[in-house]
Amino acid sequence: MISPPKLIAGDKIGIVATSRKIVLSEIEASIKVFERWGLKVELGKNIFEQHGQFAGSDNQRSEDMQYMLDSHDINAIVCARGGYGTVRILNLLDFTEFFKNPKWIVGYSDITALHAHLNQNLRVESIHGTMPFNFPQDLSESDAITSLKKALFGEQNIYEIKGHGFNRTGKVKGELVGGNLSVLYSISGTEYDIDANGKILVLEDLDEYLYHIDRMMMNLKYSGKLENLKGLIVGGMTDMHDNKVPFGKTAYEIIRDAVEEYDFPVCFDFPVGHITMNNALIIGAQIGMEVENNKVILIN
């Protein structure tokens, strides 16, 4: 795996919107925080365009992303927010210059499509972490924002959390892949699909029906992505929905049952995903994962 250079004071980051539309007031706080870190900020030319629910047309969004990928003045690319739309521009992007001059790409949720392409096809590490849309207006820096700063500036993140009743104990080290379950499901069978064999998989999701969580986990299982995992990290399964006829299980119970026949360590309720404590994780990096009865330690 290629690890992009760490940032230093004076570096410039680019902010682009590859998914849902956004307005300046929603990212102003992040710009001020980034500048407080000693970074310069450049916004994509089309970042505030609107095309339906998207931040401009596919061509406009890809134009901004292509500029950031190619520019040698941009040291990292931070996606403004999630939603939906990143997968629509993947085939419009040329990573030739980026591959010559790798840089950190940051985001989560819909940005999972980018993480998957970087991991599977380019073998370049990227940061699954909080985005400008999530920065609070009071300019405070949560642990999640601090973890993003550490990841960008080359500092190691060590997370220690309480154990969960569904956890399965074990100690492993392996390459981290994954992200948003729905996005992974949407790229299954495509050239962007991930290879989870012998790796540690992280999953999170938002605003899904429970039966759909089950459907997506069955897809992971039947496609062979679960049987040879080194470990599984389950983050937030936030704002789940049910039908009039209840599915009968929570999202965590669905995932627990989908992997019960395997013996790799599993960590539930890790602070990652569509939650305030969305800790930064480096996709593609070798991470250490130790699941004990009463606690979990993750070194990334």
- Judged on CB neighbours under 10 Å (0-12, 13-18, 19+), 250 is middle
pLDDT tens string 71-112 = 999 999 999 999 999 999 999 999 999 999 999 999 999 999
The catalytic residue among 204, 208, 212, 290 is 204
Specify the CATH number for 12-152; select among 3.40.640.10, 3.40.50.10740, 3.40.50.300, 3.30.390.10.
3.40.50.10740
- Average pLDDT on 119-130 reads 98
Residue identified by tokens 């039966």 is 211
Same fold, 12-152 and 158-299: no
Tell me which H or E stretch contains 78: strand 76-79
Measure CA 236 to chain center: 12
Rounded to the nearest integer, the mean pLDDT of the chain is: 98
The catalytic residue among 26, 182, 274, 290 is 274
- At the second CATH level, the architecture of 158-299 is 3-Layer(bba) Sandwich (3.50)
Per-residue 3-state assignment (H helix, E strand, C coil) for 131-170:
CHHHCCCCCCCCHHHHHHHHHHCCCCCEEEEECCCCCECE
Q: Where are the domains of the chain?
A: 12-152, 158-299
* Active-site residue flag, 274: yes
- Average pLDDT on 108-120 reads 98
Confidence of residue 257 (pLDDT cuts 50, 70, 90): very high
pLDDT tens string 181-217 = 999 999 999 999 999 999 999 999 999 999 999 999 9
Confidence of residue 284 (pLDDT cuts 50, 70, 90): very high
* Active-site residue flag, 292: no
The fraction of the chain above a pLDDT of 90, given in percent, is 100
DSSP strand pairing (295-299 vs 286-291):
antiparallel
The catalytic residue among 109, 126, 147, 182 is 109
* pTM over cut 0.95: yes
* Active-site residue flag, 204: yes
